[in-house]
Structure 1
Amino acid sequence: MIEARDLTKQYGDKTAVHDLNFTVRPGIVTGFLGPNGAGKSTTMRMIIGLDAPTSGRVTVNGRQYRDHRAPLREVGAMLEARAIHTGRSARNHLLAMAATTGIGRRRVDEVIDLVGLHEVADRRAGQFSLGMGQRLGIASALLGDPATVMLDEPVNGLDPEGILWIRNLLKQLAAEGRTVFVSSHLMSEMALTADHLIVVGRGTLIRDVPVAEFIASASSNSVRVRTPDPSRLRALLTGEAVSVSSSTEGQLDVTGLSTDEIGLRAAAAGIALLELSPVQASLEQAFMELTADAVEYRTLSSSREEVAA
């Protein structure tokens, strides 16, 4: 479990993290989201003691990282996959790490096999592709068989098979009762992997909710209807406090009526329906809507669009 209480980090007059409070619980995959400059990396660095908080406190499994006698066995972290000696082989890199905590060679072989690096384990890490380096970083995080796993952008550089592998691995780790904390900019992947989200912007907490609740909060109360007779259905549904629009031939977007109400009216009038479904935002749409005011860096085209609006 990871617990942050009143966590604040300042660099001179720049506040990277401000009064951050959250708990990452075991047994689920928790996604850590936020725009660039939101304070995610700084927060993760403070969790494992690479940066000291200006004020506040963060603990892993009840203790600050530095107070654990064998930190690698408590929390496995990957913040920068390529932060390795490029002249060492993958195997020797892991053996060197293992030696610091009394981890045996057998565990090194296990994680090499787990991440799919068996055939290249004796190749120098400097010759690795981005995806292979990412797998080595994940192996390093899992080396101590930790109760808490924290990964920053774990799918970066992975091919589709690798992305599916890491998705299943994270779910498996959570199912084993471990605490899994993952930062990513790939909203589509987070939607498939995470159970809970912690969203930050400009160093402060924006939301701390289950994924389904996060998406539902950004979804409109409209219903998508497809029918071979859109004109009749539009006339039937349009009324006070009900709006009907159409962006595609044969499809209506209805606001102000539930799916049940629309279905019953259509059935009574003998109008066939090909689709009747609530319109739900994607995780990406929900994220963009919620963090619109917390984006630190914008493209020139986005700024012009806002001025025009």
Structure 2
Amino acid sequence: YDEVGVQYEEWDNDKIKKMVPVADLHEFWPVTRPEDPAFYNEPVKELEGGIFCPEGGYVNDPALSAHNIMRAAEAKGAQFLFNAEVVDIRSENKKVTGITLKDGTQIDAGIVVNVGGPHSFKINKMAEGVWEGCNIKTKALRHEVMYCPSPDDYDYLNDGYHMSDGDIGCYVRPEVGNTFLIGSEDPDCDPQEWVDPDTFYAGKGGHGKDNVLSEEQWKAQCYRLGKRIPSLQVPNQPKGVVDLYDCSDDWIPVYDKSDLPGYYMAIGTSGNQYKNAPVVGHMMAQLIDACEKGMDHDKEPMQYKFKYTDRSTDVGFFSRKREINYNSSFSVNG
């Protein structure tokens, strides 16, 4: 934070208790699940404090934010096709030539970018040599977030903060109706369910249970937050959202070219890089332009200069050919 200029304050427990009066500041580590008898052990130690970022925030309406970016793109001449399924990435002479849709429509393009979200790995498999050329792969992870009403005497929507709490393995943020939105930070004890995105989204039409909260995970996340906020009233009826993350092998995105000239990827971003989208778009545009003009990004990775911070980053960090980065959080934490 010091290096990049992010403002922050270090809060001791007295300050946290003043700002978040409903919090129990005992240490509950290691993260466990309600079915584990250790979950109910009485805590002994207290946390050592926390870090508050006054500039921190969250996207509370991803559909609206995506819509806003769509409108901005349209103003620059972009066109969108909805409910248009891609079935083929066409290429000739080892160069991408366009895509084919399920209804037979062919769209010719010398440059194709995979930003397919949870479907990214399926799209890569359609393109000649792309999947095989990626040392880092992506796949779709089923994820659940829960809603839980704020305690009666606490106005979380107006007085609360978005919190990342590794000690209980959850993050929370305010949601409409004065509720907590509770997500898992993917601690080791939480199972990971990798799914076929086509099957998952087919289930959303009422043909399956993929998009229904699981009682076990609902209980785990709500009960963990109940440790931090003892006055939390967990309802009997689970409420929340189930959807998919597009995860790479180390949860760090792939922003890169591919082994098929003209085919590029901005994938594996889910969970921890959503808000970076506008910057990533600018970075990808520069990467594509440089590669199309002959730069060998694999041998001499592009250095991207950020517009507002006057800093640069090595885009090779996000290479498809990198080894797994074991310094990653392997979670939603960027």
Q: Shorter-chain TM-score: what band?
A: under 0.3
TM-score after normalising by structure 2? 0.18
TM-score after normalising by structure 1? 0.19
Determine which structure has greater relative contact order: mean sequence separation of CA pairs < 8 Å that are 6+ residues apart, divided by chain length. 1
Judging by fraction of residues, say which structure has more helix. Answer: 1
